[in-house]
Amino acid sequence: MINIKPPYLGCAYYPEDWPVEEIEKDAAKMKAIGIQVARIAEFAWSRMENTEGVFTFDWLHHVVDTLAKYGIATVLGTPTATPPVWLSRKYPDVLMEQEHGRRTQHGGRRHCCSNNEHYREYSGRIVEKMAQEFANDENVIGWQIDNEIYSFGNGCMCTVCAEKFKQRLKAKYGTVDALNKAWNLTIFSQEYNFFDEIPTPRDAWVKCRRRSSRNT
Ligand SMILES: [Zn+2]
């Protein structure tokens, strides 16, 4: 077991991006500058499950073990910010719907809708597999359960998220009249009669609200 005490000096490390022979050199350099903990794996879903249902953790064990050899503990990040391409292709509705109604393109990170049932199902599975794999590894001293949990841009506006948005407004304001008053929606005849009429804050609506706030 690694003998370190908080507060820890740590770093983020992405060994999946480098040749395997570099890992030992990196660990030695980390040790030399006093690093005690490395946070890894948060964007490495495709290295753990490159093909649906086929899980590969040997490489990750090797990283954890190598770091430990140099006295460096590990915080494991679950990789739910970066689902692999097979998920986007199998279920295109996992991709976020942006404010203009276009789906995000695979190729960045945080590209999936957090409320999508398929995204949640497969995220749950990879997290469970990781937990089973590393539950008894004493060199893993902590877990990061997601990364940058809010999506880029204005968030997802798919039908699932739109419905949850309305439910959230209903829970917060209780009545449509209370919402109209709180948001000052008599301006430009924006007031609503039913929660179901309220759109997600897409482009025209956002601009309109921004303009009105600048003028008042
Ligand atoms: Zn969504």
Separation of CA 36 and ligand 1 centre (Å): 38
pLDDT digits (tens, 9 = 90+) for 63-77: 999 999 999 999 999
Tokens of 95: 């991709």
pLDDT digits (tens, 9 = 90+) for 79-115: 999 999 999 999 999 999 988 889 999 988 899 999 9
Query: Would you say residue 27 has pLDDT above 50?
Result: yes
Separation of CA 114 and ligand 1 centre (Å): 6
Separation of CA 95 and ligand 1 centre (Å): 8
Query: Would you say residue 216 has pLDDT above 60?
Result: no
Query: For the chain, what is the mean pLDDT?
Result: 92
Tokens of 71: 């006295």
Q: Residue 148 in contact with residue 81, Cβ under 8 Å? A: yes
Which superfamily does 10-144 belong to? Glycosidases (3.20.20.80)
Separation of CA 99 and ligand 1 centre (Å): 11
Separation of CA 102 and ligand 1 centre (Å): 12
Q: What is the mean pLDDT of residues 154-161?
A: 91
Reported pTM: 0.87
* Closest-CA residue to 81 (of 145, 12, 16, 159): 145
Separation of CA 94 and ligand 1 centre (Å): 8
**Ranges in the chain annotated CATH 3.20.20.80:** 10-144
Separation of CA 77 and ligand 1 centre (Å): 23
Determine the pLDDT at residue 215.
45
Task: Give the integer Cα–Cα distance in Å for 82 and 119.
Answer: 11
Determine the pLDDT at residue 208.
52
Separation of CA 164 and ligand 1 centre (Å): 9
Q: What is the CB neighbour count within 10 angstroms for residue 67? A: 26
Separation of CA 126 and ligand 1 centre (Å): 20
Separation of CA 161 and ligand 1 centre (Å): 4
pLDDT digits (tens, 9 = 90+) for 196-209: 999 988 765 445 55
Please give the backbone phi and psi of residue 15, each rounded to the nearest 5 degrees, phi first.
-65, -20
